[in-house]
Amino acid sequence: MSAPPSSDESLATLDRELARGLDLVARASSVEDVEDAQTSLFGRKAPFAVVERALGSLPEDERRRVGQRTNEVRARLKAAITERRQALESERETAVLELDRIDVTLPGRRLRAGSLHPLTIVQQEIVEIFTRMGYRVVEGPEVEDEWHNFDALNIQPDHPARTMMDTTYLSVPGHPELLLRAHTSPMQIRTMQAEPPPVYVVVPGRVFRNEAITAKNMPVFHQVEGLAVDKGIRFSDLKGTVESFLRELLGADLRVRMTPSFFPFVEPGAQFDVSCFVCGGSGCKTCAFVGWIETMGAGMVHPRVLENVGYNPERYTGFAFGMGYDRLAMIRFGIPDIRILWESDVRFLEQFEGVG
Ligand code: YSA
């Protein structure tokens, strides 16, 4: 171990350390540099510490002189360190703020809004037209029972639609009568059971059938049921209502055709077709080469159906219709294949931005 420095040596060391320290601190370009300078000046092995430790071995009057100088040098270095650290910290803060600066005068980034699905657009349009005519919107369950789906609608037990081939039955223990509704017509029954006439309702919803997929058929599709029961409703009211609805939805120059059809829950029954939007009526793949696209079944509510729900068929008459609006969406937007509606292809969907 070397001998402790003399007072002159200590004073010289203090001067050197003061100069070295002030220089180190002045050249520090980061807070980390300032920390390093502090360690180098005041660390346990630094010359400054050696001087401090040697103070005790100096005679009293020299100790006071060297001690005083030690305090002065320490104070000046510490002050320089604090000042430099504060300056560097505030520089760093300014730089961060500068990086994060938000220029409120810049034009905003446009948020891309999605679009409504074409089926939703058409459903809303259908509902809007009928509510303007005075109809109310109701919705019903997708899981139905055989009575509402078939029996109450006068569909006999031997009707082919009641087989497993056409209807999806559910296997719920103890409930062999449960099925996925094959049409929205059961809501005619539920509505009339729930309220007395007059009734004017439309019922949008999803329906399910065991069917092969083709350009215009899906096993899951959508219908809007309509029901009007009142005193004095006639077949001509049905024709006028449906024709003006179709023209409003699809365009005034559309060709509409009403032909006889059979549904056990109407008498007489009809079907409304519109001219094929792809071929204009000459026949193509979309219309299965018939030139027309079937849009809905309809008719005058069968007296037996009115009796089944406790309405008096001598006093009240009514009409009903059930339209497939996947097909109406195809016609409305010129979509040649129903499957496109289910593919969720963004390039297809983004064409509906701003529609509806
Ligand atoms: C008939 C008379 C009434 O008084 C009330 C309603 C009805 C309609 C009846 N409930 C029904 O479902 N008839 S329907 O089987 O011919 O279907 C009605 C419409 O749904 C069709 O005109 C067609 O537009 C559409 N549709 C039928 N099967 C389809 C389909 N759409 C897509 N895929 C399928 N698999």
**Residue of 184, 199, 263 best suited for mutating to test ligand 1, as the one with most atoms within 8 Å of CB:** 263
Minimal-distance CA residue to ligand 1 atom 29: 217
- The count of C-alpha atoms lying within 13 angstroms of the C-alpha of 31, restricted to the half-sphere facing its C-beta, is 9
C-alpha–C-alpha distance, residues 234 and 304, integer Å: 17
Q: Is 327 in the pocket of ligand 1 (CB under 6 A)?
A: yes
Secondary structure element (H or E) that encloses residue 352, with its range: none
Q: Are 329 and 213 in contact (CB under 8 A)?
A: no
Q: Which residue has the tokens 């092995």?
A: 45
Instruction: Tell me the pLDDT band of 109, cut-offs 50, 70 and 90.
Output: confident
pTM of the model as a whole: 0.72
**Residue of 327, 331, 340 best suited for mutating to test ligand 1, as the one with most atoms within 8 Å of CB:** 327
Q: Into which CATH architecture does domain 118-352 fall?
A: 2-Layer Sandwich (3.30)
Instruction: Tell me the pLDDT band of 3, cut-offs 50, 70 and 90.
Output: confident
For residue 159, pLDDT beyond 90:
no
What integer is the mean pLDDT of 43-63?
92
Tokens of 87: 């300056």
Residue from 321, 93, 309, 96 nearest 203 by CA = 321
Q: pLDDT tens digits, residue range 299-354? A: 999 999 999 999 999 999 999 999 999 999 998 998 989 999 999 899 999 999 88
- Distance of CA 179 from the midpoint of ligand 1 (Å): 17
Would you kindly state where each structural domain of the chain is located, as residue ranges?
A: 7-99, 118-352
- The runs of H, that is alpha helices, within the chain are 7-27, 31-42, 47-54, 60-99, 118-132, 146-149, 186-194, 235-250, 303-308, 325-333, 346-349
For residue 15, pLDDT beyond 80:
yes
Q: What does the CA dihedral 239, 240, 241, 246 come to, rounded to 10 degrees?
A: 90
Q: Which atom of ligand 1 is nearest to the CA of 321?
A: 5
Q: Is 191 in the pocket of ligand 1 (CB under 6 A)?
A: no
Instruction: Tell me the pLDDT band of 66, cut-offs 50, 70 and 90.
Output: very high
Q: Which residue has the tokens 């109450």?
A: 152
Q: What pLDDT is stored for residue 36 in this prediction?
A: 95
Please classify residue 117 by burial: count the beta carbons closer than 10 Å to its beta carbon, then call 0-12 exposed, 13-18 middle and 19+ buried: middle
**How large a percentage of the chain has pLDDT more than 70?**
100
Q: Is 185 in the pocket of ligand 1 (CB under 6 A)?
A: yes
Q: What pLDDT is stored for residue 1 in this prediction?
A: 57
- Distance of CA 224 from the midpoint of ligand 1 (Å): 9
Q: pLDDT tens digits, residue range 69-84? A: 999 999 999 999 999 9
Q: Are 217 and 316 in contact (CB under 8 A)?
A: no
Q: Is 218 in the pocket of ligand 1 (CB under 6 A)?
A: yes
Q: Do the domains 7-99 and 118-352 sit in the same CATH topology, yes or no?
A: no
Minimal-distance CA residue to ligand 1 atom 19: 324
**How large a percentage of the chain has pLDDT more than 90?**
81
- CATH pick for 7-99 out of 1.10.3470, 1.20.58, 2.60.120, 2.40.128: 1.20.58
Residues in the chain: 356
